[in-house]
Chains A and B, each alone.
Chain A
Amino acid sequence: MTEKGCTMRQRCFLKSWVLATALVGMSFILLPLEAHARNIKVGIIDCYSGPPAVYARDALNGFKLALKEINKKDVLGRKKEGLLRQKIEFTTRDTKFKVGIALNMAKELVMREHVDVLVGTINSGAALAVSENVAMPNKVPFIVWISKSENITGKKGNRYAFSTGENTAMAGKAGGVALSRKPYVNYWIAGDDYEYGHAIGKAAWDNLKALKPDVKVIGESWWKPGEPNLTPYITAILAAKPDAVIFCTGGASMTNIMKAIKTTGMAKKVPIWIHTAIDYGVDKPLGLEGPEGVMGTTDYLFYYPDTPENKAFDKAYEAAYGDHPGFSAFHGYITARFIAQAFKKAGSLNKEKFIDALEGLKVKSPAGGEVEMRACDHQAVLPEYFGITAVSPTYKFLIAKDIVTLTGAEVMPSCADVMKMRGK
């Protein structure tokens, strides 16, 4: 750029200095105003491509549905005339299920977009990496809404990490408690050979063994995640004649294992527990051809409990997205409510105040009742439903019958245990 008005270097410098000072001064005057009127920014990192996109999209839909209601009023609850209504806005980034991309996206959202809260993701590795490498050093709250790794609010928990969904410790304990009431002794454990599979297997087994010390593992088999041909595993397991089988599968493997159970008629020969066997996201693609009689657990069912709130949520979700809400839609919905109410309680956009407000906060659950964000470990207190797959008279897919509810207090590790895990 050429500066015609400046004949001497010094004068030119002086001019720009005055200009810069004026600008900075003005921004000091304007900033507080701007900060008050600006919207709350939520940055969402999740996997919107590939098979996990199903769950990520559902979570986002649940989140958006809750925002529709929330954004009708000022989020901070101010009623002063003349002020713009403060809303929650969000921006999403696709992590492509990769930890590296998730980290970069999270950093970008914090540094460039200046988000007030980070939310994500289905990938446990990514959730833990963002929690430790972006949320903690930058002091930005991070709410995990799909990943089921118990480490997020357990061993690797920190002041900035929250979880609005169940985790493997809770699901495993629910399975362990429910199985301990059954007469089975000799178990076979099999599943996806990755963190989720082993974590859920270990949690279920440790709890079962603690409650019923005479149980035994007579064999284990682990396949690569997404292994399409599970029939040889099942024939080998049946040949060993265990009393019951614990399958530790997730994602696409769920459909594979459910289909293999159906084609081999396995459920008629041996009792089986699989964590998400009664989950809507698992049973819907199978239609009425899913296997009946498989025991399963989940933290949300749109048809149970049969409360007016749950019915209304299902109806509103179906009207908006043409589908019933699965567990991740439920997590997305309560995440939005937690964010809105915590900011309201904090009365400002200060991130530390937001965290203090979120600790111990209770919001209305779309399933009825309330969900609490436990102050000690930042884990949402959610119940686990234990049931058995069965053909439904109303729906064109399997639903859970004989449902037993285990409360959050029953399935969550105690605050003392969590602190011990964190080495405090």
Chain B
Amino acid sequence: MGPAQGFTTPALVSQLLVGLSLAMVLFIVTSGLSFILGVLRIPNVAHGSLYMIGAFSAFSISRLLGGGALGFWLALLLAPLVVALVSFIAERTLFCHLYEREHLMLLLFTFALMLVLGDLVKMSWGATYRSTTAPAMLRGSVNLFGSPFPRYNLFLLFLGPLVAIGLWLFSNKTRIGKIARAAAVDREMVGAIGINVSWVFAFAFVFGCFLAGLGGALVAPTISITLGMDHDIIMEAFLIVTIGGLGNMWGALVGSLIFGLTQSFGILFLPQFAIVFPYAAVVIVLIWRPKGLLKSVW
């Protein structure tokens, strides 16, 4: 039972790219969590449930449209909107009454919401595994430097940076983005200059959840869509947000890269212990910088 023998350059490159593509999905999900954490100061444990709803919605939408390429692309577009709608309802009916409560209360509340949403998903989609597929152009693998590389992961590698650029443009170039950032720093001040903070919060919450839904729709073709995927992602997402710096978007990106890359290289070098690497990285980062790598808004 010797160690892996795959330390050739092509293997390293393909492992690097796979790691990066994993990081992209993690980034899309955690940037949403981080955004909500920054602007609303809500540690939203139900974020993973919204990701799960995104994946299940993507399944249903693509099934409804016959499952072809059109189904996939429309699902990618519509599933996050479904999640946005769900989160909008949750924000206007539940969250908006709770902003002034302490963090522990919010944590407990979102935890309860996670359980409720989990049961709602079970009631709407049942307990069976669901599966949806990418269109033909994104299936199979291409030969990259002599190693097979899945096309879908290549697609994720293109999409991730696009989302990151979009987020940067949004938070730096648009008015609402700037207000949201301002609210993250000092919400009283934003209210004092006559901006309706309640609607800023509603928008920020829905926007963050939209990203969770997008993440869910993006992973849908690569995994089994099942109950319990909410728990899987939320653990990782909170770790990433913590090591990146609470509420910092770029921290979410750095954290996701650390998580994705330590995982994929861990698998290559020491596959028996691959599970440990991302968590070991988290421990090291937190010992070195207990407040996260980048500036926390908290």
Contact = CB atoms under 8 A, between A and B. Distances in A.
A236 B223 contact: no
Given A50-B228, A228-B223, A229-B22, A219 B263 contact: no
B257 to A, nearest CB: 14
Interface in B147-204: 147-153
A190 B275 CA distance: 13
A93 B139 CA distance: 43
A184 interface: no
Tell me whether chain B's interface is mostly helix, strand or loop, or mixed.
Answer: mixed
Contact of B153 (A49, A217, A231, A269): A231
- Which of B6, B10, B219, B264 counts the most A-chain CB atoms under 10 A from its CB? B6
Given A263-B140, A263-B152, A264-B148, A239 B1 contact: no
B10 A239 contact: yes
Given A265-B141, A285-B129, A285-B131, A239 B147 contact: yes
Nearest to A253: B224
A287 B221 CA distance: 13
Contact of A286 (B131, B141, B267): B131
Tell me whether chain A's interface is mostly helix, strand or loop, or mixed.
Answer: helix
B5 interface: yes
A416 interface: no
A236 B219 contact: no
A241 B275 CA distance: 22
Contacts, number: 148
Interface stretch (A137-145, A254-262, A363-371): A254-262
Contacts of A223: 274-275
B134 interface: yes
B271 interface: yes
A222 interface: yes
Contacts of B107: none
A240 interface: yes
Interface in A43-98: 49-51, 53-54, 57
A193 interface: yes
Interface string A213-238: 00001111111101111011101101
Interface of B: 1-6, 8, 10-11, 14-15, 18-19, 21-22, 122, 127-131, 133-134, 139-141, 147-153, 219, 221-224, 226-229, 232, 263-264, 267-268, 271-272, 274-275
